[in-house]
């Protein structure tokens, strides 16, 4: 991080810029794809751990995604469907946590490795390949020019975009689980598996995402927002 302004001001600037970027047609959805990748690969990782088999992940230009896995009983299916939203927001927290500690290399190689895993084992549609390869090219540009400040800001900004999108998408699912339960994605899937209303799962997803986002904010700005978390 450069020292042209206090760290807290720079984080605020990146958050504001991320909100603005997410509203720009084409560019916003492209960067929101990072959260889609984390979300769907969260399902895929859980499916691999519980079934021992690789899933098929599709990433789409409208920021939606799917993970097709081998069904293997209601408990495993429940855990697989639960994994997406927590994995997405925790990925953003982990990136920002280690960035804040100055472990940029860990974040860089961790993200590059995760992109490679998705490319080799999970993502199987053309847009998904395009997204992974193009985002990987951005990382490759950071590596090629070898400017630590550019790399730090790119990774920090990407993590902030991912975290904002993770919270936003969980709030959308919460809204849909109350207004249109049958179209509420993972919450609807969990309703059909467990017979627990979709709104309960929507509240769980949104509550967890907001709690992690608040914890991340505490770490970045060295403040206490939620004393008990």
- Residue at 171 is within a domain: no
Is residue 113 assigned to a domain? yes
Closest Cα to residue 57, out of 43, 70, 71, 46? 43
Whole-number pLDDT of residue 76 = 95
Q: How far, in Å, CA of 202 to CA of 183, rounded?
A: 12
Residue 23 lies in a domain: yes
Residue 21's domain comprises 7-161
Residue 218 has a pLDDT of 92
Comparing CA positions, the residue from 32, 112, 28 lying closest to residue 64 is 32
Q: Tokens standing for 229?
A: 């978390």
Measure the CA–CA gap between 94 and 194, rounded to whole angstroms. Answer: 30
The residue whose two tokens read 């179209």 is 183
Is 0.75 surpassed by the pTM of this model?
yes
User: Which of 220, 91, 104 lies closest to 152, judged by CA?
Assistant: 104
Exposure of 154 by Cβ count < 10 A (0-12 exposed, 13-18 middle, 19+ buried)?
Answer: middle
Q: In angstroms, rounded to a whole number, what is the distance separating the alpha carbons of residues 61 and 121? A: 20
Tens digit of pLDDT per residue, the chain (229 long)? 777 788 889 999 999 999 999 989 889 999 999 999 999 999 999 999 999 999 999 999 999 999 999 888 899 999 999 999 999 999 999 999 999 999 999 999 999 999 999 999 999 999 999 999 999 999 999 999 999 999 999 999 999 999 999 999 999 999 999 999 998 999 999 999 999 999 999 999 999 999 999 999 998 897 877 666 6
Structural domain contains residue 179: no
| In-domain check, residue 16 | yes
Q: How many domains does the chain have?
A: 1
């Amino acid at each position: 991080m450069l020292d042209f302004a206090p760290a807290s001001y720079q984080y605020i600037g990146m958050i504001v810029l991320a909100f603005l970027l997410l509203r720009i047609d084409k560019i916003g959805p492209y960067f929101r794809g990072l959260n889609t990748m984390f979300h769907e690969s969260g399902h895929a990782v859980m499916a691999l751990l519980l079934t021992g088999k690789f899933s098929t992940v599709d990433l789409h230009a409208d920021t939606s995604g799917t993970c097709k896995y081998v069904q293997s009983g209601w408990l495993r299916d429940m855990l697989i469907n639960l994994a997406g939203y927590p994995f997405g927001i925790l990925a953003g927290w982990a990136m920002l946590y280690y960035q804040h500690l100055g472990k940029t290399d860990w974040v860089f190689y961790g993200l590059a490795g995760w992109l490679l895993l998705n490319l080799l084992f999970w993502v199987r549609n053309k847009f998904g390949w395009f997204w992974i390869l193009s985002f990987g090219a951005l990382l490759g540009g950071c590596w090629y020019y070898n400017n630590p400040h550019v790399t730090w800001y790119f990774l920090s900004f990407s993590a902030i975009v991912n975290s904002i999108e993770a919270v936003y998408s969980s709030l959308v699912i919460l809204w849909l689980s109350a207004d249109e339960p049958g179209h509420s994605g993972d919450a609807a899937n969990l309703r059909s598996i467990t017979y627990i209303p979709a709104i309960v799962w929507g509240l769980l997803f949104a509550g967890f995402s907001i709690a992690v986002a608040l914890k991340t904010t505490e770490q970045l700005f060295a403040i206490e927002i939620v004393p008990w978390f």
